[in-house]
Amino acid sequence: MFSNGLSFLTRAVFPQRCLQCNVVLSILEQSLCQFCLCSAPRLDSIAAQRTMLLSSTLPTRKITSFRAALYFTGPVQIYCYGLKYGGNYSLGVVLGKHFLAPLIVSTLAGQRRPVVVAAMPVHMLRRLGRGYNQSEALARGALQGARAAGVEVCFEELLEKTAHRKSQINFDPFQRWNNTKGALRTTKKKRVPKDALIFIIDDTVTTGSSLLRAAEAVLHDYPKIEVHLLALAQEL
């Protein structure tokens, strides 16, 4: 209550502006205005199918969906940059709530099953430098949005990095796939309900190799679980 009051006062004195269009935000908005959120470039159905096809490259067919919400173009690049390098944790929560929670709700399609949300891990050193894990910020937002829609959902730290890998920015698809090999493992066993759906969340997807490796690691330890992969943005 007190912290809400404090934030209200702070916002009244130092109004926050939209990261994209610079308009002054209302007290109910965080990081982005409603107009920018609504006009973000959502993936069309053809691009969405392309993302889904990424999961068919794995030998296991237990990944039941691989979806991204947005195209990694113009404004979305600003969001991802702000999230990764701008120290803007609350932006991740807003994006997760607005773009990823609806994908969780639509995947469930009315089924009342427990949902576990997990984030792609970042190495401890990178987390220290950034102050947080950007995928976890997205996952926390997705959790809030899904709960608001009546879904029974919890967050678990299911995955961890085993090595500090090189940044993948300048790698071709083959190098990316090799670079992610063995880089992830599950943390010690968590209590995941047998009939749960696990959603693993990442910020951007290019070849999908990191998320597919994460799914492999989770399926190795929870072979009966249904795994879904979600990314904020698809690079084309």
Q: Which is nearer to Zn ion, 31 or 135 (CB)?
A: 31
Interacting residues with Zn ion between 31 and 60 (CB under 5 A): 33, 36
Write out the two tokens for 40. 């973000």
Q: Which is nearer to Zn ion, 31 or 55 (CB)?
A: 31
Binding characters for Zn ion, 67-86, by CB under 5 A (x = yes)? --------------------
Q: If we measure between CA atoms, which residue out of 95, 93, 87, 88 comes closest to residue 69?
A: 95
Write out the two tokens for 133. 């894990």
Question: Is residue 219 a contact residue for Zn ion (CB under 5 A)?
Answer: no
Question: Is residue 63 a contact residue for Zn ion (CB under 5 A)?
Answer: no
Which of 18, 91, 137, 232 binds Zn ion (CB under 5 A)? It is 18
Span of 11-19, 52-60, 149-157, 160-168 interacting with Zn ion by CB under 5 A = 11-19
Question: Is residue 163 a contact residue for Zn ion (CB under 5 A)?
Answer: no
Instruction: State the angle between helix axes of 134-148 and 74-85 in degrees (0 to 180), rounded to the nearest 10.
Output: 110
Cβ atoms of 75 and 41 within 8 Å: the answer is: yes
Which residues are within 8 A (CB) of 235 and not within 5 positions of it... i.e. 6 or more apart? 72, 204, 205, 206
Q: Which is nearer to Zn ion, 16 or 179 (CB)?
A: 16
Question: Is residue 20 a contact residue for Zn ion (CB under 5 A)?
Answer: yes
Alpha-helical (H) ranges within the chain are 2-13, 34-38, 45-54, 74-85, 89-95, 101-108, 124-130, 134-148, 173-179, 209-221
Q: Give the nearest distance from C-beta 102 to Zn ion in angstroms.
A: 20
Question: Is residue 24 a contact residue for Zn ion (CB under 5 A)?
Answer: no
Question: What is the residue-wise DSSP string for 40-76?
Answer: S-B--HHHHHHHHHHGGGSS---EEEEEEEEESSHHH
Q: Which is nearer to Zn ion, 227 or 232 (CB)?
A: 232
Which of 6, 21, 27, 163 binds Zn ion (CB under 5 A)? It is 21
Contacting positions for Zn ion (CB under 5 A): 18, 20-21, 33, 36
